[in-house]
Chain A
Amino acid sequence: MNLRKVTAEAKLLLIGIPVALWTLLPIYHLLLFAISTKEEAFAGKLWPDHPTLHNFGVVLRQDHYFLIHFWKQLANSLVIALAVGAITLFIATAAAFAISRLKVKGGRLTMNLALFTYFIPAAFLAVPMYKAMGTYGLLNSQWALILAMITLASPYAIWVLKQASDKLPFELDEAARIDGASPMQLFRLVYLPLMTPSLVAVGTYALLLAWNEYLYAFLLLSRDTDVTLAVALGQFMAADDSPWELLMTTGLIYALPPAAIYYAFKRYMVSGLTAGAVKS
């Protein structure tokens, strides 16, 4: 290794180490609290003297006032996230296919409107959304949150899928049409298989957006048995004497599914499935 390579590597490390620390420190903190007893958590040690899984037991057994509905709330989070992911994906795929491949009239306008929604921060829309859901009589129903999250996630999802669709060679559609495919067959047999990587990426995006949402969940849901775990976590802070170690433990558990999803679908995020379709 020559000198130039060494200095280049040193520079990378110089940037990389602070970034890694910056990212990992909160997670380390989370983990530290989760495996410490209440007394040790605040002792200011880098590693507890007696690491314990006791906190996990408390959380999983719902053995605390704040955790009475832990499993129910986790299930709420899951159901809502899956519903948002699936419905957003359906809407965005249908829109992208219609606009990008079938070239329906008004497609351009739709795309511009979708972009326009991002001029207004989602937080500004929270109260109007609350009123709208009230008008529809959906308050205190999980559908309120599901519909709200779909509204927030769809425009971006449509954009991403439209861009990805545009990259598929149009000759494939023409070849399929000549081969005798109806638009629905084209969608099912040619479009969907080729869009799989983008679909997985966009579905994951919508799912995680809903999973991590706090503000809308807090506003639109109120019964303890209806809220998502993210909202329940917030309620830990309501007490003067918050059980921090349990809060962190629950937080760690809540962070695991997204991590797992990311890991499982990693290979789809970068993929060259269209290789060989046309001259490259």
Chain B
Amino acid sequence: MASVSFKDIEKSFGVTKVIHGISFDIADGEFMVLVGPSGCGKSTLLRMLAGLEEITGGSIAIDDTVVNHMESKDRDIAMVFQSYALYPHMTVRENMGFSLRLRKADAKLTGERVAHAAKILNLDPYLERYPRELSGGQRQRVAMGRAIVRDPKVFLFDEPLSNLDAKLRVQMRGEIKALHQRLKTTTVYVTHDQIEAMTMADRIVVMHDGRVEQIGSPLELYDRPGNLFVAQFIGSPAMNIVEGTLRRDGGAPYVEAHGMRWPVAATTRGTDGEAVSYGVRPEHMGIGGDGEPVQAEIIVVEPTGAETELVIGVGEQQLVLVTSGRPHVEPGQRIGLAIDPAMVHLFDRASGIRL
């Protein structure tokens, strides 16, 4: 159990700077997810914490001990790799016990720890098998078992589910989360998949181009994205963004876009005539009547059973609307958009920052 602290972390590969001064803290026992598009520096940050990459600037501390120049093996961390990185010439048992063997731990203790981890992960029947004889999900579990046996201060996961098929990924997601709830070990988890981030994290760090865009709990990020990037990255299908101009001529404020009046909350900040990006999530729009101020044309109807996804055209732009149930609509039909003003997000168009 341990806390982790990043302070003004910078990283350059040659002249290319990939991480530009990142600072945040991870509390003891927290499940922290680093998420962002590929190339945003999330894996590099994790590898610096693991001791696999040099730290160019700033400091990383585990339990208030700066580990910048400490060897990986002395940091008391365990890492699960995307490719599993199991030793192919060792059995599952040997793979899981390898770190203790290197530590010259006594055989009895090693046996107990391996058995314990195997039990947690349901790997008992496979202990004498070689990695090549296991399925993808089982290999993934062995990789986790190898980490558990260590009983480390911090678990590191580097996109551990990317190599699994969709169904297995959902299952392993649940298993990792259950594991964390059981062991309560501080965990840093890197993924590019925002759904993984949303479902597993206590808190999420959204990264982009080597910078932190926002840190918060999954629902905070969903409900109050701090900027356009986070708004569009978190949530699936992604938030609809419409470019417009804020108007407050006398009465209630509204945003003018595509020649129509888009509703906003009465408490909206910002000045008349300000260029804004108007954001509304697909699930916060409904099918309304002729009286709605925003009118649209249905382009595609995609039923998924539980809900229906509609691709709709407003002016030249295409938006996505998700509604529960199975509305009787068809392509070409014109509908009004029922938008809940309280669920609208406004961003400054130039800076992308939330108003």
Instruction: Please tell me if B86 contacts chain A, counting CB pairs below 8 Å.
Output: yes
Q: Which chain B residues numbered 59 to 75 have a C-beta less than 8 Å away from chain A?
A: 71-73
Q: How far is the CA of A153 from the CA of B99 in the complex (A)?
A: 37
Q: What is the 8 Å Cβ interface bit string for chain A, positions 237-280, against chain B (1 contact, 0 not)?
A: 00000000000000000000000000000000000011111110
A77 CB to nearest B CB, Å? 34
B39 CB–A CB distance under 8 Å: no
A215 beta carbon closer than 8 Å to chain B: no
User: Does B126 sit at the interface, judged by CB under 8 A?
Assistant: no
Interface residues on B, range: 20 to 34
Contact yes or no, B103 A180, CB < 8 A = yes
Q: Is B206 an interface residue (CB 8 A)?
A: no
Q: Write the nearest CB–CB distance from B217 to chain A, whole angstroms.
A: 29
Q: Considering the complex, give the chain B residue whose CB is closest to the CB of A280.
A: B132
Interface string of A165-183 (1 = CB under 8 A from B): 0000101101111111100
Contacts between chains A and B (CB distance < 8 A), count: 80
**Contact between A278 and B83 (Cβ–Cβ < 8 Å)?**
yes
A185 at the interface (CB under 8 A from B): yes
Q: Across the interface, which residues of B come within 8 angstroms of A276, CB to CB?
A: 86, 88, 130-134, 139
Determine if A190 is an interface residue (Cβ-Cβ < 8 Å): yes
- Residues of A contacting B: mostly: helix
In the complex, the answer to whether B73 meets A181 with C-beta atoms within 8 Å is yes
* Chain B, Cβ-Cβ closest to A185: B102
A279 touches B50 (CB 8 A): no
Shortest Cβ distance from B131 into A: residue: A276
CB distance A178 to B73 under 8 Å? yes
CA–CA, A178 and B89, complex, Å:
18
Please tell me which one of the listed residues A178, A185, A189, A194 contacts residue B79 in the complex, with CB atoms under 8 A apart: A178
Which size class do A's interface residues fall under? Answer: 20 to 34
Q: Is the CB of A279 within 8 A of B163?
A: yes
Smallest distance from the beta carbon of B223 to chain A beta carbons, Å?
A: 37
Q: How far is the CB of A169 from chain B (nearest CB, A)?
A: 6
Give the chain A neighbours of B77 by CB distance below 8 A.
178
- B222 contacts partner chain A, Cβ-Cβ < 8 Å: no
Contact between chains at A171 and B83 (CB < 8 Å): yes
- B131 cross-chain contacts in A, Cβ below 8 A: 276-277
Closest chain-A Cβ to B79's Cβ sits at a distance in Å of 5
Q: Which residue of A lies closest to B133 (CB)?
A: A276
CB of A278 within 8 A of CB of B84, answer: yes
**Which residue in B71, B86, B98, B163 is a CB contact (below 8 Å) of A277?**
B86
Among B84, B86, B89, point to the contact of A193 (Cβ < 8 A).
Answer: B89
A171: chain B residues at CB < 8 Å are 81, 83, 85
**B136→A279 contact, CB < 8 A:** yes
Is B73's CB under 8 angstroms from A177's CB?
A: yes
Other-chain residue from A176, A275, A279 in contact with B88 (beta carbon distance below 8 A): A275
How far does the Cβ of B54 sit from chain A's closest Cβ, in whole Å? 13
Contacting residue for A179 out of B89, B98, B163, CB 8 A = B98
Q: Contact partner of B99 among A169, A179, A193, A274, CB < 8 A?
A: A179
A180 to B150, CA, bound (A): 10
Determine the distance from Cα of A124 to Cα of B51 in the docked complex, in whole angstroms: 50
A87 to B236, CA, bound (A): 61
Chain A residues with CB under 8 Å of B252's CB are none
Let me know if A169 and B83 touch, CB within 8 A: yes
Given contacts A273-B89, A276-B139, 7 further A-B contacts (CB under 8 A): A169-B85, A171-B83, A174-B52, A176-B98, A180-B99, A276-B88, A276-B131
Binding site for B on A (CB under 8 A): 169, 171-172, 174-181, 185, 189-190, 193-194, 273-279
A to B CB contacts below 8 Å, 11 in the list: A169-B85, A178-B50, A179-B150, A181-B102, A194-B88, A276-B86, A276-B139, A277-B83, A277-B85, A278-B85, A279-B83
